[in-house]
Amino acid sequence: MTTARPDSGPVPPPGEGRGGLRVVRADEFAEPKPPLPARGSMDRLRAEHAALRERITAGDAKAVERQRGLGKHTARERLDMLLDAGSFTEIDQFRRHQASGRKLTDHRPHTDGVVAGSGTIEGRRVFVYAQDFTVFGGSLGQAHAAKIRKVMDLALATGAPLIGLNDSGGARIQEGVLALHGYGGIFRRQVAASGVIPQISVVLGPCAGGAAYSPALADFTFMVRDTAKMYLTGPDVVAAVSGERVSHEELGGADVHGGQSGVATVVHDDEESCLADVRYLVSLLPANNLDPAPRLPERGAAGDERPRLAELVPPEPSKPYDMRDVVAELVDDGDFFEVHEGWAANVICALARIDGDVVGVVGNQPMVLSGVLDRAASQKAARFVRFCDAFAIPLVTLVDVPGFLPGTEQEHAGVIRHGAQLLYAYCEASVPRIQVILRKAYGGAYIVMDSRSIGTDLSLAWPTNEIAVMGAQGAVDVLFRRDLAAAADPERLRRELVAEYTEQLMHPHYAAERGLVDDVIDPAHTRAAVAGGLAMLRDKRVQGPRRKHGNVPL
């Protein structure tokens, strides 16, 4: 633009040159720009808000890339896989920590490392939180914990299942005791919600220190191989204290907790199949302890014969078979959700449907340790029985058990105490209970596996049943020890005595004649008999004694 020099006289007004000539400005040739909304106007506020929400949802690009480099999805991607499309309502998206100190004051990302809210699974309401490893490594601080507690309170207040997706480095060290206090509040709410709403924990990354107690308190815990790790003290601490060198995977990987510790209920190879299985589990569970489990139309099971059952189970008591095949014949479409498949495999625990109704199935597994009960199997079955009882899910118990596993290791490890846990669980259960004795049912293990004496409502047995203190061979060796020692032909005498003992005390109708078995059924009629029994018991009501709570032999 032309301007007057300081010594050339008065400066003409804008738009005029000397002698009345107009001065042309260079910016008059530029394209006009749309004016910005005035600061404080609704349009400007809406635009700024939308931009902020978009940045929060997208996350830090480099951190997201690192997450994917670890073979993991982001928190929001996981929620998209878990929940029905478009159903998620997020709460506290703009929450930020209020802590101060090194590395905190100048770094206050929104969400504080956890995405929380509610959505639906197959149209049914759930509440969920997903820890975000791209923000503070998913570590838990005061604001982070407050968001989780808010979701838990809402789940309990509305009577809806709670699902936690865990991917966290543990307590946020910079926030000190406030982080520990945050964990405590979460654990207290989990205990308060136990038996009131189903709680599902999914471990998709690290879950260390105090954080590990949250999955341990849940009703069901899922883990993904290679990426999920869970332990109270990490490999470095273990090495410092004991000198033992161990990897993260060896210390707390998915297969360790799925096959040895029993902390993991289900183990998967990838996040997609894991979260799909969580959806399937939710479809089998009631929303809370006052609502029934979702029921499907009847399948005509009361008239359904399954002759294959008679072929699956050998009549000889010592020959193995897979109890899963029996379960598949009993339940609708052969479809069931097995828990703790890799841990204590000598007993099977599964959720399924019979004639449209959800049931819990417990069965001895002759393919593993001949189906004996030991301390791990007793504990596994006891927890499952108590879960089903808490949420009014009927129990079907399939019995083929030679007894408790003998040996000093079992006795010293507390097999009596653990066996008593299963006994307690069945005695306490007030849901409809049906026992089916397929073959052998010996000793204390027969009593513990929901026998008539501890309160089963309906006891059915196959013609192959053998109910006794012990097998005929063992009983003869104890009762006729001196006779056998003095006999000229001990083996012949033993065979004769075994046949006599079996005929007198272990024939198929012995227990039925004494009212300890309600019916001896054809194996092919088992599905129909169980379905009929469940229909008969559907309106069962039991008023328990007035007490604060019992004292489970933990």
Regarding whether 233 and 142 lie in a shared domain, the answer is yes
**How far is Cα 446 from Cα 453, in angstroms, rounded to an integer?**
10
Domain that includes residue 518, residue range? 301-465+508-537
Query: Over 50: is that where the pLDDT of 14 sits?
Result: no
Would you say residue 547 lies in a domain? no
Q: What is the pLDDT of residue 8?
A: 44
Residue 474 is assigned to a structural domain of this protein: no
| Cβ-based burial of 180 (10 A; exposed 0-12, middle 13-18, buried ≥19) | middle
Same domain? For 268 and 348 the reply is no
Please tell me what DSSP assigns to residue 430. -
At residue 494, the pLDDT reads 84
pLDDT (0 to 100) of residue 474? 80
Q: What does DSSP assign to residue 1?
A: -
The first and second tokens of residue 331, run together, are: 């339940």
Residue 128 forms part of a structural domain = yes
Least confident of 110-124, 151-165, 326-340: 110-124
- pLDDT-derived band at 1 (thresholds 50, 70, 90) equals very low
- Domain assignment of residue 252, yes or no: yes
Residue 361 and residue 252 share a domain: no
β-partners of residue 140 are 171
Q: Using CA atoms, how far apart are residues 395 and 427, in angstroms rounded to an integer?
A: 12
| Cα–Cα distance for residue pair 532/43, rounded to 1 Å | 66
Q: Over range 243-267, report the average pLDDT.
A: 95
Asked if residue 388 and residue 346 are part of one domain, the reply reads: yes
Q: Over range 3-15, report the average pLDDT.
A: 46
- Does the pLDDT at position 253 exceed 60? yes
- The dihedral through the CA atoms of 438, 442, 447, 452 has a sign that is positive
pTM: 0.88
End-to-end CA distance of the chain: 90
Helix count (H) and strand count (E) of the chain?
A: 21, 16
315 and 273 together in one domain: no
**Residue 424 and residue 307 share a domain:** yes
Last residue of a domain, which of 284, 315, 347? Answer: 284
- Identify the H or E element spanning 446: helix 443-448
Q: Quick check: is 220 in a domain? A: yes
Residue 27 resides in a domain: no
Q: Are residues 320 and 441 in the same domain?
A: yes
267 lies in the same domain as 305: no
Catalytic residues, which ones? 209-210, 444-445
Query: What are 280's two structure tokens?
Result: 């399937």
276 and 381 assigned to the same domain: no
Mean pLDDT of 545-553: 90
The pLDDT of residue 34: 64
Does the pLDDT of residue 4 top 50, yes or no?
A: no
Phi, psi of 221 (to 5 degrees): -125, 120
- Note the pLDDT of residue 35: 65
User: Are 110 and 208 part of one and the same domain?
Assistant: yes
pLDDT tens digits for 106-137?
677 888 889 999 999 999 999 999 999 988 88
Quote the number of domains for the chain: 2
Whether residue 34 is contained in a domain is answered as no
Q: Are residues 153 and 79 in the same domain?
A: yes
Within a domain: 208 = yes
Q: Assign residue 150 the CATH number of its domain.
A: 3.90.226.10
| Surface-to-core class of residue 218, CB atoms within 10 Å of its CB (0-12 exposed, 13-18 middle, 19+ buried) | buried
Same domain, 256 and 356: no
